[in-house]
């Protein structure tokens, strides 16, 4: 038991051992290069910042010069959609029902709901050294908040996987 603990410590001390991703400085750029509408980017950035800051796998920095990874919203679309759901049923003619006690007439059952939701998609691009991977919410989600969450998670997983290579020199 003690020997395996010593071996583990020795392996962690070797050069190239994985370093925590939280040491990776990341800059979230507010310029999309013109491919994403400014209003969509403006809506996406605070939500992305919140998720990245809460996660703890990266350290958000205030300028591109401080960062080893710069991320921009490559594509973005959001729109309000009205969704309806439920059922409408109509019975005409005979048969007794609670609404037509005499056995004739029309009975109507209504259960329709209307809701508005912000739908859309997001594509993020990370630039780090000689890499520029993109992370997309398509076709996984319909809701804009979920699209942001999916792409941020993909980005964070990539940073964690490559943390040793993305550390500042």
Residue 104's pLDDT is what?
A: 62
H or E element in which residue 109 lies:
strand 106-127
CA distances to 83, 101, 102 from 92, rounded to whole Å, are 29, 13, 13
> What is the C-alpha to C-alpha distance for residues 161 and 108, in angstroms, rounded to an integer?
58
Domains recognised in the chain with CATH numbers: 21-86+112-166 (3.30.160)
pLDDT at 14: 43
Q: How many beta carbons lie within 10 A of that of residue 25, not counting itself?
A: 19
**pLDDT score of 91:** 65
Question: Would you state the pLDDT for residue 72?
Answer: 92
Q: Within 13 Å and on the Cβ side, how many CA atoms surround 158? A: 21
pLDDT of residue 10: 39
Residue-wise pLDDT tens digits, 99-108: 555 556 666 6
Nearest-angstrom CA–CA distance, 133 and 155:
9
Q: What is the pLDDT of residues 109-138, one digit of tens each?
A: 666 777 778 889 999 999 988 888 999 999
* Ranges of the chain whose pLDDT falls below 70: 1-22, 33-34, 86, 88-111, 169
The secondary structure of residue 65, as a DSSP letter, is: G
């Amino acid at each position: 038991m003690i020997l395996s603990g010593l071996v583990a410590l020795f392996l962690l001390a070797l050069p190239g051992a994985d370093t925590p991703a939280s040491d990776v400085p990341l800059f979230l750029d507010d310029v999309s290069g013109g491919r994403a509408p400014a209003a969509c980017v403006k809506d996406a950035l605070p939500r992305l910042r919140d998720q990245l800051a809460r996660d703890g796998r990266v350290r958000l920095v205030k300028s591109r010069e401080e960062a080893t990874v710069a991320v921009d919203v490559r594509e973005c679309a959001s729109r309000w959609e009205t969704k309806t759901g439920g059922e409408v049923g109509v019975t005409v003619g005979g048969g007794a029902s609670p609404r037509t006690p005499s056995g004739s007439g029309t009975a109507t059952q209504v259960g329709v709901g209307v809701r508005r939701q912000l739908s859309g998609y997001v594509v993020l691009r990370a630039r780090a050294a000689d890499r520029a991977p993109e992370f997309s919410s398509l076709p996984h989600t319909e809701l804009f908040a979920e699209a942001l969450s999916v792409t941020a998670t993909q980005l964070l997983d990539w940073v964690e996987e490559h943390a040793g290579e993305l550390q500042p020199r």
